[in-house]
Amino acid sequence: MNNFVYHNPTELIFGRGQISHLKEKVEQYGKNILLVYGGGSIKRFGLYDKVMSILNEQSCKVTELPGVEPNPRLSTVKKGIELCRQENVDWILAVGGGSVIDAAKAVAVGVPYEGDVWDFYTRKAVPEKALTLGTILTLAATGSEMNRGSVVTNWETKEKYGAGTTFPAFSILDPENTFSVPRDQTVYGICDIMSHVFEQYFTHTPEIPLQTRFAESIMKTVVENAERVLANPEDYDARANILYCGTMALNGTLPMGVETDWATHSIEHAVSAVYDIPHGGGLAIIFPNWMRYVYRENAERFKRFAVEVWGVDPSGKSDDEIALEGIAATEAFFRRIGAPSRLADYQIGDENLELMAQKAVPFGPIGKFKKLTSEDVAEILRMCL
């Protein structure tokens, strides 16, 4: 196991009716609030009214930043920074999925920064200060509710990058707020959660039995609950389990003492920077192909994955055969829940393949399990066509 430091200050407030805690958060952080949300789903399923009635009861002054796009845009973030400065807000409340939370994080670190907030995403600067951010999550997927990552797209330059920004001070997770997530977004979320675990599971770090079993527990729990939630979107316990898995998959628990990979996320970000496709859909296409491209680096790990997660029977089979069966099972699971499996499913051909391969490695080779150059990425993308 490698050395590690673990620090996660986010207060996680989980379960039915937990929105009642918003009142004490207003008392704690102040009444002048920027409310950030997306394209209107929170109005349609009634959460906006619930939030506003608590904020109005507390006589809050609420400034709104609506319309945050899936794959949130830098232009929207800049609008939010301006609003916070004009209104001198005390703190930011993000209500929505990962895109809304990521945009709100960018606003939170952008307000006290004198330069261009994009500097944080291009690694020209590191955030030192942030406005307080609270979140009410409505979609199980990114883990953004309990980490400091934020992914923003600069649509003018067609670049989509992640940055370490700020942890939410608190996040309210009520599984009922995810009942209305449409089937396709539910599937993308499941693919994203599984992919976060893959990024941290495929490693060369030896002697990490607890981290390995944590990761396997999350993967098995997601698989067990995926079809349940798709069959009945209002199954509270299935929604709760997926939601909890989403948070635990990317809140810093899995990488404790482990070298992690993250190449596939860089590749997906490059694809969605050029084609604006859903993140989880892109991952479902790319991950099995990344696996086939790299598994020989540590076939032992892939063998364990096949047996422990997918129940592959290893008897009489070579390591390669077992590993490949596990990869095929991963692909079959994604297909079974209705995820896309080829870039062609998004009408993407090889026109921009080299461009995407370049964009995937903006700061040099990516990945730790196997270091990938733009040539490797192009090869993997070709396998995805």
User: Using CB under 6 A as the criterion, which residues of the chain lie in contact with ligand NZQ when the complex forms?
Assistant: 38-42, 45, 70-71, 96-100, 102, 138-139, 141-144, 147, 149-151, 177-178, 180-182, 185, 188-189, 192, 250, 265, 279-280
For CA atoms 164, 107, 158, 114, the dihedral sign is negative
Partner touching 362 among ligand NZQ, Zn ion, none, CB below 5 to 8 Å by kind: none
Task: Give the x-and-dash track for 142-181 against Zn ion (CB under 5 A).
Answer: ----------------------------------------
**How far apart (Å, rounded) are the C-alpha atoms in residues 139 and 188?**
10
Judge whether 100 and 36 are in contact, CB under 8 Å: yes
Nearer to Zn ion (CB atom), residue 55 or residue 245: 245
Q: Please spell the DSSP secondary structure of 275-295, one letter per residue.
A: H---HHHHHHHHHHHHHHHHG
Closest CB 67 distance from ligand NZQ, rounded Å = 8
Non-local (6+) Cβ contacts of 138 within 8 A are: 41, 42, 47, 95, 96, 97, 177, 178, 181
From 105-113, 124-132, 157-165, 186-194, span contacting Zn ion (CB under 5 A): 186-194
Burial readout 63-84 (b: 16 or more C-beta within 10 A, e: otherwise): bebbebbbbbbbebbbbbbebb
Non-local (6+) Cβ contacts of 116 within 8 A are: none
**How far apart (Å, rounded) are the C-alpha atoms in residues 362 and 360?**
6
Residue from 102, 192, 325, 376 touching Zn ion (CB under 5 A): that is: 192
Q: Closest residue (Cβ) to Zn ion? A: 192
Partner touching 225 among ligand NZQ, Zn ion, none, CB below 5 to 8 Å by kind: none
Judge whether 71 and 99 are in contact, CB under 8 Å: yes
Closest CB 16 distance from ligand NZQ, rounded Å = 15
**How far apart (Å, rounded) are the C-alpha atoms in residues 228 and 186?**
12
Closest CB 220 distance from ligand NZQ, rounded Å = 21
Partner touching 149 among Zn ion, ligand NZQ, none, CB below 5 to 8 Å by kind: ligand NZQ
Torsion of CA 92, 96, 100, 101, to 10 degrees: 60
Nearer to ligand NZQ (CB atom), residue 150 or residue 330: 150
Binding of Zn ion by 331 (CB under 5 A): no
Nearer to Zn ion (CB atom), residue 279 or residue 303: 279
Partner touching 165 among ligand NZQ, Zn ion, none, CB below 5 to 8 Å by kind: none
User: What is the residue type of 199?
Assistant: E
Look up residue 163 and give its two tokens: 């940055």
Partner touching 175 among ligand NZQ, Zn ion, none, CB below 5 to 8 Å by kind: none
Nearer to ligand NZQ (CB atom), residue 19 or residue 324: 19
Nearer to ligand NZQ (CB atom), residue 180 or residue 373: 180
% helix, strand, coil for the chain, step of 5: 55, 10, 35
Closest CB 63 distance from ligand NZQ, rounded Å = 18
How many residues lie near Zn ion (CB under 5 A)?
Answer: 1
Nearer to ligand NZQ (CB atom), residue 200 or residue 322: 200
**In terms of Cα–Cα distance, which of 112, 118, 117 is closest to 85?**
112
Partner touching 252 among Zn ion, ligand NZQ, none, CB below 5 to 8 Å by kind: none
Nearer to ligand NZQ (CB atom), residue 32 or residue 154: 154
**How far apart (Å, rounded) are the C-alpha atoms in residues 215 and 293?**
22
**How far apart (Å, rounded) are the C-alpha atoms in residues 68 and 77?**
8
Nearer to ligand NZQ (CB atom), residue 59 or residue 363: 363
Using CB under 5 A as the criterion, which residues of the chain lie in contact with Zn ion when the complex forms? Answer: 192
